[in-house]
Structure 1
């Protein structure tokens, strides 16, 4: 096993550990350790809500989830010799749930969860159709996930970190805050909000304290969106064997990681759409000096996904176009087209006995594939969602005999404000 640089005790909260991570982006968050190019090391990761979500049949914890506390990130890790303009190479050697534990109160101890977030507390990709909070608990057996809340399916998880990235420079951070505040100002009372401004409450900033903590907390960016540094990109294929190239904006790069998922569908469409869990990663790091200029990389990461994905051979797919539910034509709106594709899949699965909420949770958690299939044929974009047929206990293909019916069981817990 590589050197274990960031250990977490499952019995203690994120802020009461041997080393303190962080939940905001800022160049002044102190590194927890320094590694050399060519080093391999192990990192423990807390699930993104630090144990606030429970293995039960209520969605109250999703409804009341403390969004100002996320994400619980491990790091930053300084890389010796890294300078602005370099590319940081990160290899995922291994990733998995909390090791050597198969049951317990924390997601990752034999189980994980998917949540549809309520409109008043984060929302989701289909928030107008699903304004309340819902939850599904998934049990792990090796690489397989099943759920008492979404019965009749089982699938192989593509375990991956939802969030990895380098620290922003002070200039880049200022640009983030300015552009996101300008967006918020266009509709400051919108639910869900258009963006999340800096929030000092619940800010965790490593070992910073006193006036320094308060100043940085007032400036630091929330970790919810993906940005130029990588961040919360939620790319399900970044699993074992993946290599990522991150732009470096500060001395040491200050790399952080977290938000582990046992599985996820493309888009993480329920917002808490992957199967959230705590666990571990084994990482290897290296540098390409001056790589940002050499390869024309200034505001994005480059990925070489791993080749350990489950091999599904047959799919059933659904398309959507950029026309609203009210029949309004939109011009090449691929986001809307993907929403419509997801809604068509939900409507279809409902014919087999699933509730719409169960179908929605399934699309967020199972390794479905989302694609922008046409983006040039005015006025309609076409997006598609592909669902592997092998994950179902029944045959979900259309046939002359009509849809078979599953037993929906206890259903997905619901909680409303």
Structure 2
């Protein structure tokens, strides 16, 4: 096993660990540890809510999920010799649930969860259609996931970090805050909000303290969206075997990571749409000096995806176009088209006995494929969602005999109000 450079104790909260990570982006957060180019090492990662979500049949914890505390990230990890303008090469050698802990109260100890966030607390891709809080618990058996809340479904997970990235420079951070602040100002009372501004409440900034902490907390960026430094990209194929090339904006690069997923569908459409868990990452790092200019990578990571996808060979695909349910035409709106494709899939699989919430959870957690299928034929973009038929233990294809009606069991737990 590689040396563990960022250890976590499952019996302690994130802020009580030997090394305290962070839940905001800021260039002045000190690195906890330093590695060298060529090093191989292990990093432990905490579940993104630090244990606030429980293995039970209530969704009240999702309803009340403390979004001001996420994501709890392991890092920063400095890479010796890294300078602005370099590319940081990161190989994901291995990734998995909390090692040697197959049962316990923390997600990653033999189980994980998927949540539909309520509209008043973050929402999700289909928040207008699903405004309330729901939760599904998934049990892990090796590489397989099953759920007592969604019967007759089993699939192989593509385990991956939802979030990994380098620290922004002060200039880049200021640009984030300026552009996101301008967006918020166009509709400041929107629910869910258009973006998340800096929030000192519940900020965790490593070893910063006193006036330095207060200054940084007032301007540090929330970790919710992906940005130029990588961040919360939620790319399900960024898994074992992946090689990522991150832009370096500050000395040492200051690499951080977290938000591990046992599995996820393209888009993580319920917002907490993956199977969330804590676990570990084994990484190898190296540097390409001056690589940002050499390869024209001025922003956003370039990556080579891993090649350990499950071997599903039959798919049922649904398409959508950029027209709302109220028949409003939108111009080449691929996001709307993907939303309509997902809603078509939900309508279809509900004919087999599943509740719409169960299908929504399947689309968020199972390894579905989402694609931009047409972006040139005005006025309609076309997007598609591919569902592997092998995740069901019954035939979901259309046939003259009609859909098989399954028992949906108790269904997906919903919050009490």
Query: Shared fold (TM-score greater than 0.5)?
Result: yes
How many angstroms does 1:204 deviate by? 0.3
How many angstroms does 1:406 deviate by? 1.4
Could you say which residue in structure 1 is the equivalent of 2:80?
Answer: 80
Structure 1 runs not aligned, ≥5 long:
none
Task: Specify the SS of the correspondent of 1:393.
Answer: coil
Q: 1:119 to 1:416 in 2, by over 3 A?
A: farther
How many angstroms does 1:51 deviate by? 0.2
Could you say which residue in structure 1 is the equivalent of 2:151?
Answer: 151
Task: After the TM superposition, list the runs of 4 or more consecutive aligned residues in structure 1 that deviate by more than 6 angstroms.
Answer: none
Could you say which residue in structure 2 is the equivalent of 1:212?
Answer: 212
Distance 2:5 2:406 in 1: 47
Task: Specify the SS of the correspondent of 1:152.
Answer: strand
Distance 1:64 1:214 in 2: 26
Task: Specify the SS of the correspondent of 1:52.
Answer: coil
Could you say which residue in structure 1 is the equivalent of 2:105?
Answer: 105
How many angstroms does 1:17 deviate by? 0.4
Task: Specify the SS of the correspondent of 2:182.
Answer: helix
**Root-mean-square deviation (CA), in Å?**
0.5
Could you say which residue in structure 2 is the equivalent of 1:246?
Answer: 246
Task: Specify the SS of the correspondent of 1:151.
Answer: strand
How many angstroms does 1:416 deviate by? 5.7
Could you say which residue in structure 2 is the equivalent of 1:258?
Answer: 258
Offset from partner CA, 1:52-107 (integer Å, 9 cap, x none) = 00000000000000000000000000000000000000000000000111110000
Could you say which residue in structure 1 is the equivalent of 2:354?
Answer: 354
How many angstroms does 1:268 deviate by? 0.2
Could you say which residue in structure 1 is the equivalent of 2:405?
Answer: 405
Give yes or no for the alignment of 1:387 onto 2:387. yes
Does the 8 Å CA contact 1:118/1:416 hold for their aligned counterparts? no
TM-score (norm 1): 1.00
Distance 2:305 2:364 in 1: 20
Distance 2:248 2:151 in 1: 45
Distance 2:130 2:282 in 1: 37
Distance 1:172 1:74 in 2: 21
Could you say which residue in structure 2 is the equivalent of 1:141?
Answer: 141
Structure 1 segment 144-293 matched on structure 2, within 5 A: 144-293=144-293
How many angstroms does 1:415 deviate by? 1.4
How many residues of Structure 1 are paired with residues of Structure 2 in the alignment? 417
Distance 1:118 1:334 in 2: 24
Does the 8 Å CA contact 1:123/1:131 hold for their aligned counterparts? yes
Q: Which moved more, 1:219-228 or 1:206-215?
A: 206-215
Task: Specify the SS of the correspondent of 1:154.
Answer: strand
Structure 1 segment 338-349 matched on structure 2, within 5 A: 338-349=338-349
Offset from partner CA, 1:126-155 (integer Å, 9 cap, x none) = 000000001000000000000011111000
Does the 8 Å CA contact 1:270/1:361 hold for their aligned counterparts? yes
Distance 2:298 2:45 in 1: 28
Distance 1:192 1:162 in 2: 21
Distance 1:397 1:175 in 2: 49
Does the 8 Å CA contact 1:132/1:416 hold for their aligned counterparts? no
Structure 2 runs not aligned, ≥5 long:
none
Does the 8 Å CA contact 1:372/1:382 hold for their aligned counterparts? yes
Task: Specify the SS of the correspondent of 2:42.
Answer: strand
Could you say which residue in structure 2 is the equivalent of 1:368?
Answer: 368
